[in-house]
Each structure stands twice: as C-alpha cells, then as structure tokens.
C-alpha cells in the first residue's frame, strides 16, 4: 500500500497562532483527504483535495500531486481546533492513513 | 441526511462471545469499508466492499467476517471475540466515481472492549 508520513507528530499552539501540517505520500493518488478527529473520537472530513488548493474558513489545504505532498494550514487557531489531524490517500479502493498530527491549542 | 450510521456506539464483550456491528449509509454510495483504530494509531482497513455483492480483505481481516446485505448496509461480525480486538471500529462509504467529491464519509465509530 501507499506509505503516508505526517509531520510534525505533535504540535502545541497558543490560541491565535498559525500552523502548517504536512503529509508526504509514496505513490500517485486519486484521492487525498484531511480529517480532524475531535476529542470525542469523531472523524470529521475537512477537505477532499487530490490536487490544488481549497479553503474553508480558517482552514486551507494545498496538494501538489506531482511532488507527492499536501499541506494543511490552520490560521488564528482556537481551542476547538485541538485533536488529531489525519491525512489519508488512495489510488484504488483502499484508503491509507498517516499516523496523524496531534494538535493542542492552549487558551 | 444522516450519512453513515453505526450501531452500537459502545459494547463490552467477554472473550469468546460473538457480535455483529451494523453500518448503513443513505448517500447511494457504491463502496463501503470497515476500519479499526487502536490507541495512538491511524486507521487500518479490515474489509471493504467495492460494490453490492462483493467483499474483499484489507490489512487486518483475521478474526472478522463481513456481509454486504444490500447497497445501503455493510455489517462486520466477530465470531469469537478476543482481547486483541478491543478497538474503535469505523465504517465508511465512498462517493460515486466521477463525482466532484469522490471522498470517504465516516460513521461516528463503535467503541468495543473485549474482557
């Protein structure tokens, strides 16, 4: 399967700070998604972004498919942004997950 | 529009007991999936169903069976539960090929403890 590496593994932010999370993957993909797993364990779909750039409020994402990486930007972070952010990719039916970035936003 | 619905949300089993986790989606998706998530890890694929009438093994299928009952429903069965199957189980479905959002939607998970 496709190997997915996320960095950094952990991130501690002060409320209001900006941050960038990175996802590298080992093969070409036809699907890439960013998920946020909240403290209650729910997986929330943030972006479906196999290529290009998308924005949703304070979050934005960019995928450079030819260079096999994707970036998730969090701006003006809030305590509700805390949780684990997963990147997941596939080029067939099997979605492969990275190990996640644990984000803690302090008030 | 409920999306992907999983039942139950929580379950405690004794070693050797059996149970079935239920999953239903109302988005007319063709493919459905079962994942497990262990502490501090990403999700691992147990089984998937690319379309109604087909099922295939994923990364970690041992100890599990699945049934694609119809297009909407995909169940996961533990025939003889073991403590190593203590995990959070997620069901997912995938949008239709060629659609603008050909992405995965996940259910809210089933937290299973085997004692």
CA-nearest residue to B111 within chain A is: A41
pLDDT at B1: 59
Q: How far is CA A24 from CA A27, A43, A60, A86, B16, in A?
A: 9, 20, 17, 12, 41
Query: What's the CA gap between A97 and A107, in Å, rounded?
Result: 30
Contact yes or no for B34/B74 (Cβ under 8 A): yes
pLDDT at B39: 83
Task: Choose the closest CB to A99 out of B41, B50, B106.
Answer: B41
Spatial CA neighbour of B105 closest among A89, A95, A44, A59: A44
Task: Choose the closest CB to A33 out of B59, B104, B108.
Answer: B104
Residue-wise pLDDT for A58-106, tens only, equals 999 999 999 999 999 999 999 999 999 999 998 887 889 999 999 999 9
Quick check: A98 and B42 CB within 8 A?
A: yes
Quick check: A1 and B50 CB within 8 A?
A: no
pLDDT at B35 over 60: yes
Instruction: Sort out which chain A residues have CB atoms less than 8 A from B58's CB and list them.
Output: 94
Highest mean pLDDT among A38-42, A66-70, B102-106: A66-70
Query: What's the CA gap between A87 and B109, in Å, rounded?
Result: 18
Q: How far is CA B17 from CA A1, A60, B7, B80, B114, in A?
A: 32, 46, 17, 5, 9
**What is the β-pairing status of strands A10-14 and A101-106?**
parallel
Residue B103 or A46, more confident: A46
Quick check: A1 and B42 CB within 8 A?
A: no
Strand partners, B48: B33, B56
Instruction: Sort out which chain B residues have CB atoms less than 8 A from A100's CB and list them.
Output: 42
Quick check: A42 and B103 CB within 8 A?
A: no
pLDDT at B45 over 70: yes
Mean pLDDT over A5-23 rounds to 97
What do you get for the CA distance between the two ends of chain A, in Å?
39
pLDDT at B16 over 80: yes
Contact yes or no for A104/A13 (Cβ under 8 A): yes
Quick check: B103 and A31 CB within 8 A?
A: yes
Least confident of A5-19, A40-54, A61-75, B95-109: B95-109
Residue B96 or A98, more confident: A98
Instruction: Say whether the peptide bond before residue B105 is cis (omega within 30 degrees of 0).
Output: no
pLDDT at A93: 75
């Amino acid at each position: 399967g496709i190997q997915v590496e996320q960095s950094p593994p952990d991130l501690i932010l002060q409320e209001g700070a900006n941050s960038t999370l990175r996802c590298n993957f080992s093969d070409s993909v036809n699907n890439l998604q960013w998920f946020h797993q909240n403290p209650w364990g729910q997986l929330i779909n943030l972006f479906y972004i196999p290529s290009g750039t998308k924005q949703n409020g304070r979050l934005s994402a960019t995928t450079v498919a030819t260079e096999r990486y994707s970036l998730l930007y969090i701006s003006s972070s809030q305590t509700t942004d805390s949780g684990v952010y997963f990147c997941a990719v596939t080029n067939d039916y099997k979605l492969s997950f990275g190990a996640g970035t644990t984000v803690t936003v302090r008030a | 529009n409920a999306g992907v619905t999983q039942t139950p949300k929580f379950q405690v089993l004794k070693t050797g007991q059996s149970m079935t986790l239920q999953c239903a989606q109302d988005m007319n998706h063709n493919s459905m999936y079962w994942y497990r998530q262990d502490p501090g890890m990403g999700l691992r694929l147990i089984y998937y169903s690319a379309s109604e009438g087909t099922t295939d093994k994923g990364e970690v299928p041992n100890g599990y069976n699945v049934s694609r009952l119809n297009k909407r429903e995909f169940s996961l069965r533990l025939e003889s539960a073991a403590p190593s199957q203590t995990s959070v189980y997620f069901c997912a479905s995938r949008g239709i090929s060629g659609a603008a959002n050909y992405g995965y939607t996940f259910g809210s998970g089933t937290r299973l403890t085997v004692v």
